[in-house]
Amino acid sequence: MATGTNSRDLAVPDGEFPFTWADFRQIAELVHSEAGIVLTETKVNLVYSRLAKRLRAIGLRTFREYCALIQGESGIDERQAMIAAMTTNVTRFFRESHHFDYLRSRVLPGLLEGARKGGKVRIWSAGCSSGEEAYSIALTILELEPGAADLDVRILASDIDPEMLRRGSTGIYAVRQMGDIPQELRRKWFTIVPGSGGAELEVSEDMHELVRFRELNLLREWPMRGKFDIIFCRNVMIYFDDETQNTVWGRFAGILHPGGTLCIGHSERISVGGHPYDLVGQTIYRRQGA
């Protein structure tokens, strides 16, 4: 136990590394201010187990030392690693498939018609994790317009976690993660990764071309200049407090074209009274003003 640490202060009594409630609070405050993610005391064991790996990796012996590191000027890289360790990256292809059905039948036909006449289509997968959401949108587009990569159609896939973005930009996925992609689409739009014995598939050049991965913290400045036709921000806000959620829903309204579409996660909700959206489907909103 660290010098001066009373066993009553310990948040995780039998851990390999001493972890006090004061350490927990410092970490929770930093994760909240940096990434908007709320860590209540019920998450104490999760915080311990995810960050114990970081302590081991960098050779520290106590969470007190770890807190000193992440609070200090030299701790920028470790702060980022800590945020990445605390994010939940669960995702899959065609998750909440009704959103893709809605795009296919109601939104994309008109947008692609405009793109064929020289217009542009901009889509944002905000909090894209390892890219399955953005590539599912790309697949939906390519099924409607196989030549989409040659049109001015682009999907921005952004996340706070650089490791997830790195994975997404490889475009390589294990076949066992692809259960939600119909066989026919797999054959058409993916190639077998050489040497993987068929266990891994890579997205086609056209899918690569449609999707651009960028690091972006939703709480900070957004560098994009143009507006979007569609935003997917699903299963990201559930980790944020109400005030942060409200701010981000408002900022999405500012960067969506009038009539643009916003798809959110199944357990998320926007109070439309306070924001310029109409609810047009299950967790699907349309920006007012078209």
Ligand X SMILES: C[S@@+](CC[C@H](N)C(=O)[O-])C[C@H]1O[C@@H](n2cnc3c(N)ncnc32)[C@H](O)[C@@H]1O
**Least distance (Å) between residue 114 CB and ligand X:** 26
Q: Which has the closest alpha carbon to 265: 28, 138, 135, 88?
A: 88
Of 64, 154, 159, 234, the catalytic one is: 159
Check residue 99 for interaction with ligand X (CB under 6 A). Answer: no
Given candidates 214, 219, 247, 281, which one binds ligand X under the rule CB under 6 A? 219
**Least distance (Å) between residue 161 CB and ligand X:** 4
Q: Is 104 a catalytic residue?
A: no
Given candidates 23, 78, 145, 159, which one binds ligand X under the rule CB under 6 A? 159
Given candidates 218, 230, 270, 284, which one binds ligand X under the rule CB under 6 A? 218
Q: Scanning residues 244 to 273, which ones bind ligand X (CB under 6 A)?
A: 265
Check residue 80 for interaction with ligand X (CB under 6 A). Answer: no
Q: What is the DSSP letter of 43?
A: G
Report the residue number, 87 or 245, with the smaller CB distance to ligand X: 87
**Least distance (Å) between residue 121 CB and ligand X:** 20
Q: Give the total of residues touching ligand X (CB under 6 A).
A: 24
CB atoms within 10 A of CB 5: 17
Q: Is 234 a catalytic residue?
A: no
Given candidates 26, 62, 80, 129, which one binds ligand X under the rule CB under 6 A? 129
Q: Which has the closest alpha carbon to 185: 154, 207, 153, 211?
A: 207
**Segment interacting with ligand X (CB under 6 A) among 57-65, 66-74, 82-90, 253-261:** 82-90
Report the residue number, 187 or 220, with the smaller CB distance to ligand X: 220
Check residue 28 for interaction with ligand X (CB under 6 A). Answer: no
Beta partners for residue 124, in sequence order: 156, 231
**Segment interacting with ligand X (CB under 6 A) among 17-25, 105-113, 165-173, 217-225:** 217-225
Q: What are phi and psi of 122, to 5 degrees?
A: -125, 130
Inter-CA distances, 32 with 86, 89, 135, 256, 267, Å: 11, 17, 29, 26, 20
In a 13 Å sphere around the CA of 98, the CA atoms on its Cβ side amount to 9
SS3 content of the chain, % helix, strand, coil (to 5): 50, 20, 30
The answer to whether residues 132 and 164 touch, using CB atoms and an 8 Å cutoff, is no
The answer to whether residues 31 and 37 touch, using CB atoms and an 8 Å cutoff, is yes
Check residue 140 for interaction with ligand X (CB under 6 A). Answer: no
Check residue 98 for interaction with ligand X (CB under 6 A). Answer: no
Find tokens 């409607």 and name the residue: 144
CB atoms within 10 A of CB 107: 23
Check residue 62 for interaction with ligand X (CB under 6 A). Answer: no
| 3-state secondary structure string across 150-198 | HCEEEEEEEECCHHHHHHHHHCEEEHHHCCCCCHHHHHHHEEECCCCCC
Check residue 167 for interaction with ligand X (CB under 6 A). Answer: no
Report the residue number, 170 or 217, with the smaller CB distance to ligand X: 217
Active site residues: 50, 159
Contact residues for ligand X, defined by CB under 6 A: 35-37, 87-91, 95, 127-129, 133, 159-161, 164, 217-219, 234-236, 265
